[in-house]
């Protein structure tokens, strides 16, 4: 989460288990005194993580709250509490009117269950689903809309692009090594520490 405060908030973060009838219904990471959640998981169902969208305007957020729209953190908590599965969670997170624009990343437990949702206050602005057959076997969401230029001071997408190439090369090398029966031939498998 992108919070800029003069104190180190990492020291105040707590993980909370929400229990019903002796069973953990969902777990979330938050701060003491905060009712909503920005990150959480519903065991054996799905996880949700929120990331702030760079174009939020405070007075519009406040007006949306006065109009009775859901604060994002309450929507996430409600979804963790009530959605029975990944698809229901994505639908609820995509279509409920909210107070602030945000990015939501949702991951399920089955192959292909992963989505990056870009939200406006009124509804869905964009969605990107996992699609391994199309080469999207993981998703990355920063604080900027897909397809828009990122500021020069924020190089996360550059780092991601280069990391992705490195991961793909490592996967190719590992597959070739395994195909050449690397375990039986006792070839050495190099780790990062071998190159330092």
pLDDT digits (tens, 9 = 90+) for 85-108: 999 999 999 999 888 889 999 999
Among 5-9, 36-40, 169-173, where is mean pLDDT lowest?
A: 169-173
pLDDT for residue 193:
39
Q: For 158-170, what is each residue's pLDDT tens digit?
A: 666 656 555 555 5
Domain ranges (residues) in the chain: 9-149, 155-196
Question: 17 - beta bridge partners?
Answer: 27
CB distance 103 to 143 below 8 Å? yes
* Burial grade of 119 (CB within 10 A; 0-12, 13-18, 19 or more): buried
Question: 196 - beta bridge partners?
Answer: none
d(CA 98, CA 120): 8
Q: How far is CA 156 from the centre of its chain?
A: 15
Q: What percent of the chain has pLDDT over 70?
A: 73
According to CATH, the topology of domain 9-149 is: Penicillin V Acylase; Chain A (3.60.60)
Q: For 52-89, what is each residue's pLDDT tens digit?
A: 886 667 778 777 777 877 789 999 999 999 999 999 99
pLDDT for residue 180:
56
Identify the H or E element spanning 10: none
CB distance 26 to 18 below 8 Å? yes
At 136, give phi and psi (nearest 5°). Answer: -100, 80
Q: Which residues, other chains included, contact 45 with Cβ-Cβ below 8 Å and sequence gap of 6+?
A: 83, 84, 85, 86, 89, 108, 109
* Burial grade of 115 (CB within 10 A; 0-12, 13-18, 19 or more): buried
d(CA 42, CA 29): 12
pLDDT for residue 34:
85
pLDDT for residue 57:
76
Residue from 122, 117, 78 nearest 100 by CA: 122
Q: Which residue has the tokens 């997408």?
A: 157
CB distance 120 to 95 below 8 Å? no
For residue 172, pLDDT beyond 80: no
């Amino acid at each position: 989460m992108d919070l800029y405060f003069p104190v180190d908030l990492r020291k105040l973060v707590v993980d909370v288990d929400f229990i019903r009838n002796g069973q953990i219904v969902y777990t979330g990471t938050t701060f003491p005194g905060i009712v909503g959640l920005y990150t959480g998981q519903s065991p054996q169902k799905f996880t949700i993580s929120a990331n702030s969208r760079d174009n939020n305007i405070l007075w519009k957020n406040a007006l949306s709250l006065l109009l009775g729209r859901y604060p994002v953190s309450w929507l996430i908590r409600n979804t963790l509490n009530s959605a029975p599965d990944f698809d229901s969670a994505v639908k609820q997170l995509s279509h409920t009117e909210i107070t602030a624009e945000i990015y939501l990343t949702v991951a399920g437990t089955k192959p292909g269950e992963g989505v990056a949702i870009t939200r406006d206050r009124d509804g869905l602005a964009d969605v990107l689903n996992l699609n391994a057959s199309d080469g999207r076997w993981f998703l990355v969401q920063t604080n900027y809309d897909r397809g828009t230029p990122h500021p020069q001071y924020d190089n996360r997408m550059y780092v991601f692009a280069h990391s992705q190439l490195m991961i793909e090369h490592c996967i190719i090398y590992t597959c070739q090594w395994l195909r050449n029966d690397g375990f039986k031939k006792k070839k050495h498998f190099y780790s990062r520490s071998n190159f330092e």
